[in-house]
Structure 1
Amino acid sequence: MKRGKKYQEAAKLVDRSKLYDTDEAVSVVKKNATAKFDETIELHIRTGCDGRHADQQIRGAVVLPHGTGKATRILVFAKDAKAEEALAAGADFVGGDELIPKIQNENWFEFDVVVATPDMMGVVGRLGRVLGPKGLMPNPKAGTVTMDVANAVKEIKAGKIEYRLDKTNIIHVPVGKASFTEEQLTDNFQTLIDAVNKAKPSAVKGQYLKSITLTSTMGPGVKINPSKLA
């Protein structure tokens, strides 16, 4: 794959054979984020889990102290008083059955997170085939199936993100934007690592955090020493 000049220049600043400390990695990645837009800083954690086993799954959510730098659009499935609470808390869209055909037939996906009250999960379940593959299905572990919709909306707007294993047992999450200070990115990074460490399944044997890479949208990845973060 041919890379652009900017990428090649940035890649020269990264020592591929080195495992960086967190502070140094954040500094290098931030320096390498030279695109004309505010690049997202992403974290990729390869774990020692085997996600094919239910007792080695990881899924949870954490509020990043400085948010993600991205405005998150929230759809809430709720009715009556709960629908009003969600709107008052700042939800972008609130509804019920009437949203099913809009999402299924009109391919409407102008939202980033879906929250639902437990009594609405029967309705949301009918959208499993379209929401599931996009990672949008509400889940109690992520705090997106709850009666306290107002708090869920507020936390997501404040920078709550979900982390989970993909099929290759890697967790991919944003930890901020290139415009953040190094301190803000480090705080967010540490909060996320602490949450992932806490979520370690007891069934996992051997090394839990196998590799940790920090990167910007357009820049090269920088490897962080996982043994210092376990």
Structure 2
Amino acid sequence: MKKISRRVKENLAKVEPKLYSPLEALQLLKETANAKFIETAEAHISLGLDPKYADQQLRATVILPKGSGKKVRVAVITKADKLEQALQAQADIVGSEDLVEEIAKGRLDFDKLIATPDVMPLIAKLGRVLGPRGLMPSPKAGTVTVNLKEAIDEFKKGKLEYRVDRSGIVHLGFGKTNFDVMDLLENLESIQESIEKNKPAGAKGRYWKSLFISSTMGPSIGVNLIQLKDRMK
């Protein structure tokens, strides 16, 4: 059996088996984020969805008003007339057919890949490389667009893509544990609002099942969903 460290034991002892109010949960998250690095604040949201059905799939984006706390490296694939536009918008990597070939050979030093619609036929062959890493450009994710400046700005400021996994759970980071509690709360509320707004047409019965938050190395903390939703009214 794996030995549990003293730090982990002490953190587990701080969390009661109950649902906390959003503010209490976030304060406890910060209190238990005591690893030797700045941890990510994570949300794990269980939804009443079965994504094997087309009308119960959830894939959308949300802009975190207080940012993600992460430096996002954005790559852009486009045609010659828009290369300069992407560079001026502060894209980290810009290219056309040349960048497609580099990615095919294994270049993946970016967090988001944005493409204009006219180059998507070129990118189709990269599905096996980009797909498993969640990097394949998609109109639904806002990564296939003609408005490069807006897309680059949004992702660098904290726009996140999320999707429900096979078990009906959405996992995503919503900031860093050195954020102010109210900033983390504002980000969490934006996620709740986005998931509600993008509720799939085929969702049946209870949509929200549970919400747990944690730091990267911290214990799971249950959040009272009713109180979180009441804050949005």
TM interval, short-chain normalised: over 0.9
Q: What is the aligned partner in structure 2 of residue 148 from structure 1? A: 147
Alpha-carbon shift at residue 84 of structure 1 (Å): 1.2
SS of 2:212 mapped into structure 1: strand
SS class of match (1:132): helix
Report SS of the residue matched to 2:19: coil
Structure 2 alignment gaps of length 5 or more: none
Deviations 1:175-195 (A, max 9, x none): 100110001100000011100
Take 1:61 and 1:104, find their aligned partners in 2: how far apart are those partners? 26
Aligned partners of 2:79 and 2:177: how far apart in 1?
Answer: 39
Alignment correspondent of 1:221: 220
Cα distance in 2 for partners of 1:229, 1:179 equals 21
Determine the structure 1 residue equivalent to 2:27: 27
Letter in 1 for 2:168: N
Q: Name the counterpart of 1:93.
A: 93
State the TM-score, normalized to the length of structure 2.
0.94
- Alignment of 1:58 onto 2:58: yes
Cα deviation, 1:123-160, whole Å, max 9, x if unaligned, reads 11110011000011111111111000110000111110
The root-mean-square deviation of aligned C-alpha atoms, in Å, is 1.2
Cα distance, 1:96 vs structure 2: 1.7
CA distance in 2, matches of 1:69, 1:180: 8
TM-score between both structures, scaled by the size of structure 1? 0.96
Percent identical:
44
One-letter amino acid of the counterpart of residue 10, structure 2: E
Is residue 46 of structure 1 aligned with residue 46 of structure 2? yes
- One-letter code aligned to 1:21: S
Query: What is the one-letter code of the residue matched to 1:174?
Result: G
Query: Which residue identity lines up with residue 78 of structure 1 in the other structure?
Result: T
1:211 is displaced (CA, Å) by: 1.0
Q: Report the secondary structure of 2:204's partner residue.
A: coil
Q: Which runs of 5+ in 1 are unaligned?
A: none
User: Separation in 1 of the partners of 2:210 and 2:22?
Assistant: 13
* Matches for 1:1-230 after TM superposition, within 5 Å: 1-16=2-17, 18-105=18-105, 107-229=106-228
Distance 1:36 1:103 in 2: 34
For 1:206, the aligned partner's letter is G
Look up the equivalent residue of 2:13 and give its one-letter code.
Answer: K
Amino acid at match of 2:138: N
Q: Which moved more, 1:115-124 or 1:94-103?
A: 94-103
AA at the equivalent of 2:180? T
For residues 103 and 13 of structure 2, what CA distance do their matches in structure 1 show? Answer: 45
Distance 1:3 1:217 in 2: 16
Q: Distance in 1 between matches of 2:139 and 2:30?
A: 34
SS at structure 2 position matched to 1:140: coil
